[in-house]
Each structure stands twice: as structure tokens, then as C-alpha cells.
Chains A and B, each alone.
Chain A
Amino acid sequence: DTGVSQNPRHKITKRGQNVTFRCDPISEHNRLYWYRQTLGQGPEFLTYFQNEAQLEKSRLLSDRFSAERPKGSFSTLEIQRTEQGDSAMYLCASSLNRDYEQYFGPGTRLTVT
């Protein structure tokens, strides 16, 4: 399967803990996006990368959130000092370039207790 993969698929953590998610995009895709999806809503944009450069961050991305794509391949999204309001599905998507369609991974479902 050469689609977008995300790990872990599920994460349960206690409030205040740090969590890190990983996304592996489709291999030749230059752009990588992170979205957050809460129950009954569409995905909301968080941030995106062109190769290793982080080019845009949503105001939804508080200073507790950080994302990296160190070698322009996989990306990580870290949430520090998690809060219950962080509970959501975190989706990663990739595209060949800016004018091309985005392909989504299966998501990481985060539950903060």
C-alpha cells in the first residue's frame, strides 16, 4: 500500500502529558498537511509543509503544538501539556504539489482523559 500512513492509529493519554504523532506521505509528494477533525465536523487545517519548510500555520495551532518535517519526507506533530479539548482525530494529507489533490491518511484518534 503506497498511500499516506499515520501512527499510532489511536492514542489515549492523560491531561498534561505530551504526545507525538507520525505521518508518512506518499513518497513523491512534496506537500504535507495536518488537519484536526472533531466529531460531526469537517477537517480543519492546522499547518502544511513544502518539502521540509513549514509554510503556514493556522491560528488553531497554539504554542503547545509543534510540527516538523526534518528531511522532507515523514512529519511529526507534537502536542505538549495535552488538554481535554485536544481530543480529536488528527489527519495528515499529502499532495504532489500545490495545485494537486490532497490524499488523506487514516488519522490518529487522540483521547485526552
Chain B
Amino acid sequence: GENVEQHPSTLSVQEGDSAVIKCTYSDSASNYFPWYKQELGKGPQLIIDIRSNVGEKKDQRIAVTLNKTAKHFSLHITETQPEDSAVYFCAARVRDSGGYQKVTFGIGTKLQVIP
């Protein structure tokens, strides 16, 4: 099955600096890569996603890159703000043998933005 590895597990940055979170996946059939932000006591919130036919996607201060050859994808947050502090999860979706589009999550990165 799919295996998603995520690092770092914790990340502290100064407000205004950039933050980068990296993930790798194992199944070359994975075709969709969402990123979720989870605040304490809340469910994960989709913040950006990328499909396998695209190499980069940007939404204001957030960008995601995908390298299909290397099976790497990354989240980039620029001009970080204290409200960006949360746990971020990467995920990969692959259609399994039964036709189900299974989503596998990484372990999460706890981002702390220091004012």
C-alpha cells in the first residue's frame, strides 16, 4: 500500500519567514496530493491540493510543488503569521485494486510561528 513520509515533525520559524514541509510517497499511481491544516481541537482543513498533471500550484502565501519522478511534494508558506501555527498534514491519494481512491496521510508537522 501507499506510504507517505513527512518531515520535519516540528518546525519553528520567526514571523515573516518562510516555512517548508516536505513529503515523499511510495506508490507511483498516486494522482492527487492534498494538504491539510489542523488546529487544536478541530478537524483537518483542506488548504491546498495538487494533481499529478501539475508541477506547482500557488494560492496567495501558500504554494505546493510536486516532483513525480522523485515522488516528492512540498508545501511552502511565505510571510508566515502567528495564525499559521498549527499541525500540517500531507496526503496522497491512489486508486486501489478495488477502485477506491484511498487517501494516506503523513504523520504531520507541528509549525510554530514565533511573533
Contacts and interface: CB of A to CB of B under 8 A. Distances in A.
Contacts of B101: 98-99
B46 interface: yes
> Number of contact residues on A: which range applies?
20 to 34
Interface stretch (B36-44, B52-60, B64-72, B75-83): B36-44
A101 B34 contact: yes
Interface size class of B (residues with CB under 8 A): 20 to 34
Contacts, number: 52
The A interface, classified by DSSP as helix, strand, loop or mixed, is loop
A4 B43 contact: yes
Contact of A41 (B32, B46, B103, B107): B107
A101 B46 contact: yes
Interface of B: 4, 6, 32, 34, 36, 41-46, 49, 89, 91, 98, 100-108
Interface of A: 4, 6, 40-45, 48, 55-56, 91, 93, 98-99, 101-107
Nearest first, the 7 A-B pairs at minimum CB distance are A42-B105, A104-B43, A104-B44, A106-B43, A56-B100, A107-B43, A42-B89
